[in-house]
Amino acid sequence: MKSVLLKFLIYSFVFMAFVAMDTTLEDPVLNTPVLVSLAFLCTFLVMLYLIVKGSVWQTIFINLLSLFLIIMVFEKVLQVQEKRKDEANALVTVFSSGQSLFKPNSRTGYVHIPNYTGKAFGKVGDTILYDVTYHTDKNGCRLTQPVNPDSQSMLFLGCSFTFGFGLEDQQTLPWLVNDSLKQKLKVYNFGVNGYGPHQILSFLENGMVDTIVREKPKYCIYSAITSHAERVVNLYPWGYKDTDPKYALNADGKPEFTGPFADASSLTFSVESAVRDAALFKKILKKKSLSDYDLELFVAVVEACRDKIKDRYPDCEFHVIFWDDQYQQKEISERMIAMLKEKKINLHLMHNILPDYQTKAYQYVIYPRHEGHPNGLANQYIASYIRREIINNHNQLAYE
């Protein structure tokens, strides 16, 4: 009986291996590191079974082999379920140029490619949500309008909300602000898709802004969202980004750079990444919630960004435009707002900027339910607010 069971398990494994090597399949069986690792482990157990003598060890190896094969099957089933769900509901972004918008960077994990021009379109099923063209300048910044190089400047920091994900250059917030000012300031769009304030702080600490900005900055606008607190501690909803800069609070409560979240070349990193990306692991272990320390670190990093700007550019005003969450993360959002106010951060809340934001936020996103980035209408309102409440009243500090 034992011999029959072993043969069945071996034949099942060999069949899966042959299917996996069939490159003509659209979705090969062993298509993730964790499945490949389990396959090699099963092979090793088969070899051990054939080598060792004694019924006790052979029984152990058979049971282990059975266990890992069951795990492989469950993992594959969950992957198929996730793929079907994604195909039905998830947004797929395609760069028609065939070239990614990103390149690695030792200080921030990654940056945008300089002098990039490429069309990007997002779709859900057969529905096209946006079809736009991205341009970056020689520094990798999203393109803004050229102005007199001797003028003062305005810096925009943040993530895809600042960059203008899913929008044309002319629909981005920095471009619209520059438009409303009739190009009186040189505007820099330092927004990078996926960034958190920890990467912005690293950007500032390593002088990456100084090497780009030639004009004297008058204003600095950081667009913050609730999930930035998650990014500071590497809790990205789309996975881990272990090459990003890691900060920790020191004895004085100030953020200190401690290196990347993990060494991407280490064996430990490879194993941990494979396990964390497994569908079974994600199913069993839900995403960790934010702790008090995580929120304190987020606020400390934002405060450090403000202080860095102030130290480097004494006449530059630092403002935070905060997309306060009205739904799933409302409690976290309110705690973040309260903590930012305690630090006397010049804070501007989105519900005071966008009409009916608390009840009709859907009208300010690219495509409700599927694509929640700000649309051109939202940026028009925010640009008008910045011109009216920040630039025209730059001596008035309002902690809303």
Amino acid 26: pLDDT? 44
| Residues 116 and 139: beta-carbon distance below 8 Å | no
Per-residue pLDDT band at 262 (split at 50, 70, 90): confident
If you search the block for the tokens 């080598």, which residue do you land on?
51
- Any bridge partners for residue 348, and if so which? 321
- Rounded CA gap, 143 and 163, in Å? 9
Q: What digits encode the pLDDT tens for the residues 314-350?
A: 999 999 999 998 787 899 999 999 999 999 999 999 9
What is the mean predicted confidence (pLDDT) over 223-249? 84
- Tokens found for residue 360: 């009709």
Could you give phi then psi for residue 364, rounded to 5 degrees? -110, 15
Distance between alpha carbon 386 and the CA centroid of its chain, in Å?
26
Q: Are 102 and 110 in contact (CB under 8 A)?
A: yes
* Element housing 12 (H / E): helix 2-20
Q: Domain segments of the chain: what residues?
A: 2-89, 92-391
Cross-strand pairs, 317: 219
**What pLDDT, on a 0 to 100 scale, did the predictor assign at position 66?**
75
How far apart are alpha carbons 110 and 236 in whole angstroms? 15
| C-alpha to C-alpha distance for 289 and 252, rounded to whole angstroms | 25
Query: Given a cut of 60, is residue 84 above it in pLDDT?
Result: yes
- Per-residue pLDDT at 27: 47
| Distance in angstroms (rounded) separating the CA atoms of residues 185 and 316 | 13
pLDDT above 90 covers a percentage of the chain that reads 52
Asked if the model's pLDDT at residue 92 lies above 70, the reply is no
Predicted pLDDT at 395: 44
Of 175, 214, 210, the C-alpha closest to 191 is: 175
pLDDT of residue 37: 64
Contacts of 284 (CB under 8 A, 6+ apart): none
What number is the average pLDDT over the span 61-73? 74
Of 55-64, 137-146, 190-199, 212-221, the range with the lowest mean pLDDT is 55-64
281-301 residue pLDDT tens? 666 555 567 899 999 999 999
For domain 92-391, which CATH number applies: 1.20.120.350, 3.40.50.300, 3.40.50.1110, 3.30.43.10? Answer: 3.40.50.1110
Res. 194: pLDDT tops 90: yes
Encoding tokens for residue 355? 């009409």
pTM of the model: 0.78
At residue 176, the pLDDT reads 97
Residue 4 reports pLDDT greater than 80: no
**String of b and e for 305-339 (b: at least 16 CB within 10 Å)?**
bbebbeeebeebbbbbbbbbbeeebeebbebbbeb
Please say whether the beta carbons of 201 and 298 come within 8 A.
no
Q: Kindly state the average pLDDT of the residues 206-222.
A: 94
- Give the H/E segment covering residue 283: helix 279-284
Q: Is the pLDDT of residue 6 over 90?
A: no
Q: Quick one: pLDDT band at residue 13, thresholds 50, 70, 90?
A: low
Both tokens of residue 25? 């399949």
238, two tokens:
């789309």
Taking residue 166's Cβ as centre, other Cβ atoms within 10 Å add up to 26
- Least confident stretch, 62-71, 281-290, 348-357: 281-290
Q: What is the mean pLDDT of residues 265-291?
A: 62
Other C-beta atoms within 10 Å of 221: how many? 25
Predicted local confidence at residue 98, as pLDDT: 64
The mean pLDDT value of the chain amounts to: 82
